[in-house]
Amino acid sequence: MAEEKTAFFTYKGLPLVRKGNQIYFGNMYDEYVVMIEILDTEKVGGLDVANKVRIRKMATDITLPPNQQIVKKAEKSSLYEALDIACAWLKVS
Protein backbone atom coordinates (compact mmCIF):
# COMPACT_ATOMS: atom_id res chain seq x y z
CA MET A 1 0.00 0.00 0.00
CA ALA A 2 1.43 3.37 -1.02
CA GLU A 3 2.05 5.94 1.69
CA GLU A 4 -0.02 9.09 1.31
CA LYS A 5 1.95 12.32 1.58
CA THR A 6 0.32 15.06 3.62
CA ALA A 7 1.35 18.68 3.86
CA PHE A 8 2.26 20.25 7.18
CA PHE A 9 -0.26 22.48 8.90
CA THR A 10 0.87 26.07 8.41
CA TYR A 11 0.37 29.33 10.28
CA LYS A 12 1.05 32.57 8.39
CA GLY A 13 2.75 30.52 5.67
CA LEU A 14 5.24 28.64 7.88
CA PRO A 15 5.04 24.99 8.97
CA LEU A 16 3.64 24.27 12.43
CA VAL A 17 4.50 20.76 13.65
CA ARG A 18 3.46 19.30 17.01
CA LYS A 19 4.90 16.29 18.82
CA GLY A 20 3.43 15.85 22.29
CA ASN A 21 3.83 19.12 24.21
CA GLN A 22 6.36 20.60 21.78
CA ILE A 23 5.47 22.66 18.72
CA TYR A 24 8.02 23.66 16.11
CA PHE A 25 7.19 26.76 14.07
CA GLY A 26 9.17 27.66 10.97
CA ASN A 27 10.99 26.04 8.11
CA MET A 28 13.95 23.84 9.07
CA TYR A 29 15.76 25.08 5.94
CA ASP A 30 15.73 28.65 7.26
CA GLU A 31 18.35 30.03 9.65
CA TYR A 32 16.04 29.91 12.70
CA VAL A 33 12.91 28.11 13.96
CA VAL A 34 10.90 28.61 17.13
CA MET A 35 10.21 25.79 19.56
CA ILE A 36 7.11 26.25 21.71
CA GLU A 37 6.83 24.01 24.76
CA ILE A 38 3.48 23.69 26.54
CA LEU A 39 4.25 23.70 30.26
CA ASP A 40 0.73 23.73 31.74
CA THR A 41 -2.87 23.40 30.55
CA GLU A 42 -6.34 24.01 31.94
CA LYS A 43 -9.76 22.66 30.97
CA VAL A 44 -11.95 25.14 29.09
CA GLY A 45 -15.23 23.80 27.78
CA GLY A 46 -13.93 20.24 27.90
CA LEU A 47 -10.73 21.04 25.98
CA ASP A 48 -7.18 21.33 27.28
CA VAL A 49 -5.96 24.88 26.65
CA ALA A 50 -2.35 25.95 27.20
CA ASN A 51 -2.01 28.54 29.96
CA LYS A 52 1.79 28.52 30.30
CA VAL A 53 4.20 28.10 27.39
CA ARG A 54 7.94 28.53 26.91
CA ILE A 55 9.25 29.72 23.56
CA ARG A 56 12.78 29.51 22.20
CA LYS A 57 14.23 30.87 18.99
CA MET A 58 16.75 28.28 17.86
CA ALA A 59 19.38 28.17 15.13
CA THR A 60 18.96 25.27 12.70
CA ASP A 61 22.74 24.94 12.28
CA ILE A 62 23.47 21.49 13.71
CA THR A 63 27.21 22.21 13.89
CA LEU A 64 26.63 24.65 16.77
CA PRO A 65 26.85 23.33 20.33
CA PRO A 66 23.38 22.97 21.94
CA ASN A 67 23.95 25.87 24.36
CA GLN A 68 24.63 28.22 21.41
CA GLN A 69 21.63 27.11 19.33
CA ILE A 70 19.14 28.97 21.54
CA VAL A 71 19.35 32.70 20.80
CA LYS A 72 16.14 34.00 22.48
CA LYS A 73 13.67 32.65 25.02
CA ALA A 74 10.53 33.78 26.80
CA GLU A 75 7.48 32.48 28.68
CA LYS A 76 3.90 33.44 27.84
CA SER A 77 0.46 32.69 29.26
CA SER A 78 -1.18 31.46 26.05
CA LEU A 79 -0.39 29.73 22.80
CA TYR A 80 -1.68 32.75 20.87
CA GLU A 81 0.81 35.06 22.62
CA ALA A 82 3.60 32.56 21.95
CA LEU A 83 2.76 32.38 18.23
CA ASP A 84 2.57 36.17 18.08
CA ILE A 85 6.09 36.46 19.52
CA ALA A 86 7.33 33.62 17.28
CA CYS A 87 6.06 35.47 14.20
CA ALA A 88 7.88 38.62 15.30
CA TRP A 89 11.09 36.68 15.95
CA LEU A 90 10.90 35.05 12.52
CA LYS A 91 9.63 38.29 10.91
CA VAL A 92 6.47 36.71 9.47
CA SER A 93 3.70 39.09 8.44
1 found inside a domain: no
Question: Would you say residue 62 lies in a domain?
Answer: yes
**Domain with 84 in it:** 10-90
Q: Flag whether 48 is in a domain.
A: yes
Residue 65 forms part of a structural domain: yes
- Which distant-in-sequence residues (6+ apart) come within 8 Å of 89 by Cβ? 32, 34, 57, 72
Q: Does 25 reside within a domain? A: yes
What domain count does the chain have? Answer: 1
The pLDDT, as a whole number, for residue 27 is 92
Give the global pTM.
0.85
What is the predicted pLDDT for the residue at 2? Answer: 59
Q: Is the per-residue pLDDT at 77 higher than 90?
A: yes
Residue 3 belongs to a domain: no
pLDDT digits (tens, 9 = 90+) for 26-75: 999 999 999 999 999 999 999 999 999 999 999 999 999 988 999 999 99
Residue 85 in 3-state DSSP? helix
Is the residue at 41 inside a domain?
yes
pLDDT range class, residue 5, cuts 50, 70, 90: low
